[in-house]
Each structure stands twice: as C-alpha cells, then as structure tokens.
Chain A
Amino acid sequence: MTLAFVGGTHRTVPLALRERLAFSAEQAADALHRFRARFPGREVVLLSTCNRVELYAAGEEASMPPPAEQLVSFLAECRGIDAAILAPVLARQSDEAVVRHLFSVASGLDSMVLGEPQIVAQVKQAWALAQRSETAGPLTAGMFQAALRTAKRVASETALGRERLSIPSVAVADFARGVFERFDDKRVLVIGAGKMAHETLRYLREAGARDIVVVNRTADRADRLAARLGGRPGRFDDLVAELAAADLVVSTTGASEPIVTADLFARAETSREGRPLVVLDLALPRDFDPAIGARPGVWLYSIDDLGAACEANRRSRQREMPAALAIVDEEARRFMGDLHHRSTAPVIERLRAGWSETGDAELERLFRRLPALDDTARAEIRQAFERYAAKMLHSPLTSLRNESHSGPPHGLLDALKRLFDLKE
C-alpha cells in the first residue's frame, strides 16, 4: 500500500459531527505539522470543506502511510473528538480507490451539488497548504496534479458544470441575459425584501446593473433595504410609475395576493413605449398576476418556472455522469500505471548499474590488451558498448512498463532480480 485515505462527507457524517470535525485554515496547517512530526517521511494532504473532511496520506518502501485506524485516531485527536464516535462514520480506502475518489472529488462528482466548480479551488488550496507545510511529496504531487487535470477534462469535455442550478443564477444568466444584452443602462426595480432578492441582485450587479430602485410597503424598510442592496429607495405608492420606468423587476414580497394585477400593469404599460420588461417573480404566493406574462414584450418568470429550469439543468448534469466517470476511470488508470512503473525504478537502476559496471570492466580489459588504440577509437568502442547495453535492456524494460499498466509488476521484478542477481 502506498496511498491511504480516511474521510467523511455530507453523506456519511451527521451535520453536528461534521461541524466539529471541520478544520479552519490555521487548524489544518497545525494538523499537518503534527502529522509530519508523528509520521516522519510520509506525505499527507488535508482537504476540509463545508461538506467533507478528508486525509490523503502516501509513502513508499520504508515509510509506508500509516494504517487507516491511526489516521482516524489522528483526525479525532486533532479535533478533540472521541475516535470511537468518529471511526464508524469515516470511510477508509487504499491505493487505486484513493486515486479514483480524489479524482471524483476534484471533478465535483462527489459534491452535494453535482459538478459544482468551487471544489477544484478547494482541492488546490488543500494541496498548496500541504506544500507550505512541507507534508507534500512526489506521490501526492503526482496524484493532486492528475486530479486537477482530470477536473479540467471533466469540465471541458462534459456539460457537467455548464448548466446553472441556483434560481437567482438561472434567472439572470439564462433568462434576463437572453432578453438584454447589457444591464448598465437598465433600471432594476426590486419589490419587497425576500431573501432571494439579495442573491439575484448580486448576479445582476456582476452583469453590470447600476440603476437599482427598491420599493417596499414600509418606507423605512425600503430605505434600509436600498442601503443594504446598493440602490435608492422608491415609494410604494409610485409603483405604477416605477413599473413604467423599469426594465427588469425582481419581486419578493410576502404578500398573500398579487400586488401587481393585470389592471395595474395595464396602467404602467401605456407609459412603457414598447420597451421589453423582464419580471423575476420570486415570491410565493406570486406577486404578479400570471396573465401579465402573456402581454407582448413581457417576459415573466415565476419561482416555479425558474425551479423547473433548475431541475431540468440538474437532470442534464446527471446525464453527463457516465462521460465524466469514464474520464475519471481513464485518468486513474493512467496515474496508477505511472505509479506502478515508478516502483520499478530502483530495480531498473540496479540493472543498468550492473550492466554498466560489467561493461566498464570489460572495456578496461580490452583497452589494456590493445594499447595502440587512440582516443577516437576508444570513444567509438565505448559508445558501441553503451548502444549494445541499451538495446539489450530495451525489451525487458518495455515489458516492465507494459506490465505496470495492469498493476505492480512483482513477478517480472522478481524474475529480473533473480536472473541478473540484483541485490537489494
């Protein structure tokens, strides 16, 4: 075993325990230093996010990674949790399963929101912290670089992360942007103080919206909201005029009846001069009479419409899973092949050294028996010997490389050691 993993995610660890298990950046750095002191020569990376805490350990030959139970105890000790509580909810994996798991995690396949992109940055941060804490090494370097490459491939070769899943992001990016080319010259009217208004406005501001008017039944509340949302307050009594001036409406009141009826909108419509209007009705019950959506030039989206679009996007992401898993599988096999081949390096080195020593000894004997040879001739003969050795070693080394793709080539390595009398 060269790779070991213990960890828990939102699927296995209850929220209360996950909160206790989570590491801040400082706590993670401290844990890595403690790991280095306790398990010298081993590599480790700690990934801690809202939804997962995972420890990836690696080591070779004399410094194999600690057994899983020691890793569980280490995590429990770092967070002051009883190991007996933690042990049943943490997963344990070794070698190729670790690689596949990390590649899936980095690609967002193991995330709560399938394909979410933030996890790539979190994996990068975990890796960077391990480097700074000097607990990273060649094995984890190869594995994390391959994981990030896999995540990049999954993002570019599948549609897993393309479709948006949150209602505000779908409302702005897929619908409002479909109507308007730019937002810096548009009037945004916010009606009410619902939670989703804030998030929707964040997306609108990112898209360039600057002219934001907030209206609320209570004037004081409108003032506070406007200050908080970065807009200016408007009067609820002027709703018709504000609707006439607006290009995009975000409505999130807690009213039990529609506040914009078809009649009220008809009064505003006469002053709109044919300008298109996008209405994001994020309230439940709805703030806008659905009949308004049938008016020409009005693009009305209720929370149900946006929710249905999000759900369609979620299903679309699920359909991309087989393609994403195929990429993870391909990259994991490639990485494991390289890792297995890497384990053959000491034997290859000894084999080459043995051939080189024998060749040098034979050359010396030859040159002593043929003293008339000049330097040019000697160099030619030396090169011929080296070429011969390289050609003779080519076939066994190729076989070794090919065998590495399907697992550690223990049989071939033993055979080479015995055939060529290679000492440890």
Chain B
Amino acid sequence: MTEFISGISVVCFAASYLVALACEASRPLFRSGVRGALLVGFAAAGFFAHTIFLGWRAANEPAVPLSSAFDWYLLAAWLLAGGYLWLLVANPRTQVGLFLLPVVLALVGAAQLSSRAPFPQSPATQVWGAIHGSFNLAASVAVAGGAVAGLMWLIQAARLTRKRTPAQGLRLPSLELLATATGRSAAIAAWTAAAGFISGLVLNAVNRQRGLLETVPWNDPVVLRMGMLVAWLIAAALTARALARRPDAARVTAWLSLASFVVLTASILWGLLGDTRHGVPPTHAATSREAVP
C-alpha cells in the first residue's frame, strides 16, 4: 500500500485532469452515454491522487504544505480541482470544467517549474509564514475562480444578447449566479491578498528585527509585484462595489476579474523568472545567526 501511495506522481493526477478536460471539450462535438461517468470518474480519480500526493508529502517530507513554491501551486490547484468536482456533481449539465480545468493544469505546470526546496523557516516566524502563505493561496484561488466565473458571465451574456439558445453541450450557469461568484471572488481576493501582503511584511520585519534567516529587501521584485497586485485587487474590488447599483456592474466586474487574473499571472511569471531573495534558503551567515538564541 505504501509503495502504491508513494508511487503516485504529479503526472498521475495531471493526466486524469487532462482526460477530464478532453471529455469536457468533446461535449459540444458529439453525444455519448458514457462520457458523464468517464468525466466524473477521471475528475474524481485525479482529485483523489492529488489529495494522496499532497498528504504523502505532508507526512513524509520535512516541510508541511505551503512550505515550498511547488507545494503552494499544487495546493492552489487542489482547491480549484475540489471546487470543480463539487460543481460537476452538483450540476453536471453545466460545463464549468472547460474553463476551470485549464487553470488547474496551468497551476500543476507552474508547480513543475517551481522549486521543491522548502522556504526558509524558523520556529519564531513559522506561524507568520503559514499565515502569509495561506492568505496568498486564498487570494490566488479567489482570483482564478473569479476570472473563470467572469469569463463564463461574458460568454453567457454574449449568447443572451445575440438571442441564441444554448449550444449543444455548452450550458453555462445563470448570469445571476456567475455575477454573485465574480463579485464575491473579487472581495475575497482583495481582503486575503491584503492580509497576505501585510503578514508578509510582518514576517520580513520579524526576520529583520531578530536577525533571523535572510530578510527580503523592501525593493525586492516579489515585494513590489505583490504590492502592485494587492493595490490592483483592492482597486478592482472597490470599483466593483462602487458600481454595484449600476446596470452594467456585472459586466464591469467580469472584465475586472479577468484583468485581475492577467495581473496575477504576470506577477507569478515575474516571480518565476525574476531575481529575488524571497523564499531563498538562508545563507551560511544567516543560518549561523538563527542558531544563536
């Protein structure tokens, strides 16, 4: 059993999600009596393997979830995949997977490109580190979920404006539901991103004050991009709130959610490609300082 569990790799659940995505994509093309079962089967199998993989890493690696960029991306993908599975079972006729699964697969792909080395930690900053990581994770998932809902809102609105009946195999949730999801995602993303940024500042300040680990310079690209992202998300949420009583509020919020996703993606790519001290293992000197109580 242990051998089986330890044998589960990223490829296992990525392949399952890919097959589920292929099933979703084939819905408008042809009808099939077995596709529904295949879809739920592969989505559930992927989510199960994904859960086992993260659980195994949490139990056997020295670090816990959220402790490396690799785990962080996989956990974000896991949350979105869980949401997809729930939507698939609760409302199998709507085709949310066609929009959500590519994001899940992109996050799994980003995980593969990211470092598996644990973020530097010390007992004094572990709690702040966990808070920082959790809020950033929630913000990213909210942005991704909001963008998916926003995109579906725009497609559904275009269909209703053109006065067309739903295309075969492309049934989307109602505008009302999508507008609610987009608006709430924008608010959650703004609050959690702000909390994540502030907790990151506190974490860095504690490190700096106590001389623990290696501190991140205030002008580090990660600090700058996170600051910009938080500023954007707060501005987007406030704009959406200010326009809430206007008839075009849902459309504006949908576009803002897509823009937020673009900003988040650019921010992640900047983080992957840029030179930063964020999340870099401590230098010898820093490690030595940490050893001193």
Enumerate chain A interface residues (CB-CB to B < 8 A).
156-159, 162-164, 170, 174-175, 177-182, 269, 272-276, 295-299, 301, 305, 308-309, 312-313, 316
Nearest opposing residue in chain A for B33, CB measure: A156
**Cβ proximity bits B170-213 to A, threshold 8 Å, 1 near / 0 not:** 00111111000000000000000000000000000000000000
Most chain A Cβ neighbours within 10 Å, of B159, B168, B175, B250:
B175
Q: Which residues from 45 to 68 on chain B have a C-beta closer than 8 Å to any C-beta of chain A?
A: none
A415 to B246: give the CA distance in the assembly, Å. 86
User: Known: A273-B245, A274-B244. Contact between A178 and B163, CB under 8 A?
Assistant: no
Cβ-defined contact, A308 with B163, below 8 A: yes
A299 to B247: give the CA distance in the assembly, Å. 11
Closest 5 CB pairs of A and B: A297-B247, A296-B248, A296-B247, A181-B174, A181-B177
Cβ-defined contact, B31 with A179, below 8 A: no
A158 to B246: give the CA distance in the assembly, Å. 42
- Asked whether any CB of chain A lies closer than 8 Å to the CB of B164, the reply is yes
Closest beta carbon of chain B to A94's beta carbon, Å: 33
- Asked whether any CB of chain A lies closer than 8 Å to the CB of B257, the reply is no
B: number of interface residues (CB 8 Å): 26
Closest beta carbon of chain B to A204's beta carbon, Å: 15
Cβ-defined contact, B175 with A177, below 8 A: no
Q: Which residues from chain A contact B15 at a C-beta distance below 8 Å? A: none
Closest beta carbon of chain B to A309's beta carbon, Å: 5
**Cβ proximity bits B261-277 to A, threshold 8 Å, 1 near / 0 not:** 00000000000000000
- Asked whether any CB of chain A lies closer than 8 Å to the CB of B2, the reply is no
A228 to B181: give the CA distance in the assembly, Å. 38
- Asked whether any CB of chain A lies closer than 8 Å to the CB of B136, the reply is no
Number of A-B contacts (CB under 8 A): 71
Closest beta carbon of chain A to B106's beta carbon, Å: 28
Cβ-defined contact, A276 with B164, below 8 A: no
Cβ-defined contact, B31 with A157, below 8 A: yes
Most chain A Cβ neighbours within 10 Å, of B160, B245, B248:
B160
Nearest opposing residue in chain A for B167, CB measure: A316
Cβ-defined contact, A180 with B251, below 8 A: no
What DSSP secondary structure best describes chain B's contact surface? loop
Cβ-defined contact, A163 with B176, below 8 A: no
Nearest opposing residue in chain A for B32, CB measure: A157
Q: Which residues from chain A contact B173 at a C-beta distance below 8 Å? A: 181
Q: Which residues from chain B contact A156 at a C-beta distance below 8 Å? A: 31, 33
Cβ-defined contact, A274 with B249, below 8 A: yes
Q: Which residues from chain A contact B177 at a C-beta distance below 8 Å? A: 181
- Known: A162-B168, A312-B164; 6 extra A-B contacts, CB below 8 A, are A174-B165, A174-B166, A178-B174, A179-B176, A274-B248, A298-B247
Q: Which residues from chain A contact B160 at a C-beta distance below 8 Å? A: 175, 178-179, 299
A175 to B164: give the CA distance in the assembly, Å. 8
User: Known: A178-B159, A179-B160. Contact between A159 and B31, CB under 8 A?
Assistant: yes
Q: Give the residue of A179, A180, A301 whose beta carbon is less than 8 angstroms from that of B163.
A: A301
- Asked whether any CB of chain A lies closer than 8 Å to the CB of B156, the reply is yes
User: Known: A159-B168, A297-B247. Contact between A309 and B174, CB under 8 A?
Assistant: no
User: Known: A159-B168, A163-B165, A309-B163. Contact between A180 and B176, CB under 8 A?
Assistant: yes
Closest beta carbon of chain B to A209's beta carbon, Å: 14
Q: Which residues from chain B contact A179 at a C-beta distance below 8 Å? A: 160, 174-176
A269 to B245: give the CA distance in the assembly, Å. 11
Cβ-defined contact, B166 with A178, below 8 A: yes
Q: Which residues from chain B contact A276 at a C-beta distance below 8 Å? A: 175-176, 247, 250
Q: Which residues from chain B contact A305 at a C-beta distance below 8 Å? A: 163
Q: Which residues from chain B contact A308 at a C-beta distance below 8 Å? A: 163
